[in-house]
Structure 1
Amino acid sequence: MSKPSLPAAVWGLGFVSLLMDVSSEMINTLLPAYLAGGLGVSALAIGFIEGLSVAVATGAKFLSGVLADVSRRAKPLAVLGYGLGALSRLIFPWAVTLDQIVLAKALDRVGKGIRGAPRDAILTAASPPELRGASFGLRKSLDTVGGFVGPLIAVGAMVLLAGNIQQVFWLATIPAALCMVALIWFVKEPAGETVIKRSSFRLTEALLLTPQVWGVIGLASVIMLARFSEAFVLLKALDIGISATWVPLSLVVMHVAYGRADGLSGGAPV
């Protein structure tokens, strides 16, 4: 008997993640240089923006999970989340003040928070139980590929466009638009049933998680305290004299190490 293959919806979501991450990295790897060099924003302010972005995305993740449970539909929320991210790409090229950058960044992070839970719900429903781990691994692996390719495209575009960051931001709208096309037309919810089957959401059920689960959550929280924004890596590269054109390569190295760690651990984290 032949081994079952991964469903088309899984591959579709994988390429959706890849395209959106390419777009994100094309912007995020150049944004600190644009803020510091073009707008004269301090490192403290950049750190505040990054921290606020993480907080916004975290809150949106929780609300998205609740809405997915209540609505019992996942794809509309996924389209909303990715759509907000794609919409933010149209703001970055026009942004000439800090508040406009904050607006675009907030819109992007809200979208990122919203799309996570429904995307994973579609993956779970579309994947055969014996291939569920492979499905999540494929999506995360393609996401990592996007994180690797995006900075390389940003470097190439900076070379071709003589270091014009705003024009590179315009180019970042292309993979974002392709992402939306792939999501809307090529990712289907399982036929004949809704993805979310739960009848209601109860916050108190979180208290019923096993001690082992709470232990993992606690350990992950402690580890995350040592994490700092990638923006500071990019700012450090600028500080030591690396041109803004080549600064994105620092994140290429980071993603190579990240992908290598995934391989050694036997698969990408979900």
Structure 2
Amino acid sequence: MTFLSRAGDPSAPTRPAIPATVWMLGIVSLLMDVSSEMVNALLPLYLAGGLGASVLAIGVIEGLSVAIATLTKFLSGVLADASGRAKPLAVLGYGLGALSRLIFPLAASLDLIVLAKAMDRVGKGIRGTPRDALIAAVTPPEIRGASFGLRKSLDTVGGFVGPLVAVAAMLLLGGNILAVFWIAAFPAALAVLVLVLAVREPEAPRAAKRGGFRLSDSLRLNRAVWGVIALASLIMLARFSEAFVLLKSLEAGFSPTWVPLSLVVMHAAYGLTAYPVGRLSDRIGNTGLLLCSLGFLVAAHLVLALAGSVWVYVLGTVLWGLHMGFSQGLLGAMIAGATPEALKGSAFGTFNLVTGAVVLAGNTLAGWLWQSAGSQVPFLVGAAISLVAMLLIAAGRHRQRRAAGRA
């Protein structure tokens, strides 16, 4: 499969095909995301309705789970660089995620939910960095945006299918959330099987092969990498957990059985845009597309803050999904492009560590604002932070153009 640099021009140079490893990792992500979204679509309702958890507690649980994942992402990135092997870490991470699915349906208290979320997020943390490092290692630079965008798009197909399966299972099982959690274990197990049998890792490269890796190297990333990390942190602060979006659906008029459909709409918008945006970024760069993504996020926050009906809420979820599609693949490609070959695992790990700490703070703040000031306030604050991020990106773009003009 090849891509022409200019459509319809047979004399134009062809672009390299996206490697089979990227496709297989995308399918693994798809299957695991089917499982994850079956759980995530119903877990806030189970916590609030079944276990009586407050919105603040839900925010802390969501933020803590992300923080756990990001710490393990950093450690797994360092290990991937030190060992030169990424696939064993990915298998371990996906395996832990699959095992956590067996705890959710047995959880009759908050502590077991926290345990299951922690195991799931440790697994997510372990697998995310080596998976991204594998994609960066096998992908030529000229199609890096397309490869990361493709992986994100396949991942969001799982985010689209998972809530649909959850709705169908809720209808067939009479609203039995715990039974749906049991079903979610099957696609997770299949994801591990595909990873073990179908994903091939390139030869152990770089510093591990030369015997030159040092832990201190992983902490000396260049300014370009830290610039991407700082930008992503601000975006993550503005975009808190989707659990709050799901809870907002109840105010908009959804019944619990149909709440997962909001994730279907969101992931449809996300999945349909991530790959085309990734390909477009390879041609025109990232800055303008990131500005578009933040514009969508501002609009999503404002619409969701005011959503008092199903259709207004659905519009907000579409805008949220467009923001995800325009930003997520780009950030991964930007990290890959700014990092030396020997430190890609460490760079992705540091990226996830820092942004995860920001997400913990943001989710806790969003839960506190919701509980103390009302459901509109977290979304209005998120819109304000998104606007600040847009201004900073635009100012940086202007400085770059002025510098280029003087040169």
Are 1:41 and 2:72 counterparts?
no
> Which residue pairs with 1:59 in the alignment?
71
Structure with the bigger percentage of helix: 2
Give distance in 2, aligned partners of 1:130 and 1:227: 29
Aligned residue number for residue 95 of structure 2: 83
1:35-94: CA deviation from partner (whole Å, max 9, x where unpaired): 111111111111110110111111111111111122221111000111111110111111
How far did 1:197 drift? 4.1
Paired position in structure 2 for 1:209 = 222
Q: 1:90 to 1:245 in 2, by over 3 A?
A: same
The equivalent position to 1:163 in structure 2, one of 152, 157, 175, is: 175
8 Å Cα contact 2:78-2:218 kept in structure 1: no
Larger Rg: 2
Shift of 1:7: 3.0
1:73 touches 1:196 (CA, 8 Å); kept in 2? no
Does structure 2 retain, via aligned residues, the 8 Å contact 1:74–1:196? no
- What is the CA–CA distance in structure 1 between the aligned matches of 2:192 and 2:271, rounded to whole Å? 25
Q: Kindly indicate whether the alpha-carbon contact (under 8 Å) linking 1:23 and 1:173 is maintained by their aligned counterparts in 2.
A: yes
Counterparts in 2 of 1:164 and 1:63: CA distance versus 1, 3 Å: same
Identity between Structure 1 and Structure 2 (%): 69
Distance 1:205 1:197 in 2: 11
CA contact (8 A) 2:65 2:117 kept: yes
1:194 pairs with 2:204 = yes
Aligned to 2:363: none
Gap runs ≥5 in structure 2 = 1-12, 282-328, 333-407
Structure 1 position 101 matched with structure 2 position 113: yes
Rounded Cα–Cα distance in structure 1 between residues aligned with 2:24 and 2:123: 19
Question: 2:258 is paired with a residue of what secondary structure?
Answer: coil
Compute the displacement of 1:119 (Å).
1.0
Which of the numbers 6, 9, 18 marks the counterpart of 2:30?
A: 18
Q: Distance in 2 between matches of 1:27 and 1:195?
A: 37
Tell me the TM-score normalised to structure 2 length: 0.61
Quote how far apart the aligned CAs of 1:215 are: 2.7
Structure 1 stretch displaced more, 251-260 or 25-34: 251-260
Q: How many residues align?
A: 267
Bigger shift: residues 174-183 or 212-221: 212-221
Instruction: Supply the RMSD in Å over aligned alpha carbons.
Output: 2.2
Gaps of 5+ in 1: none
AA aligned opposite 1:201: R
Give yes or no for contact 1:68–1:196 (8 Å, CA) kept in 2.
Answer: no
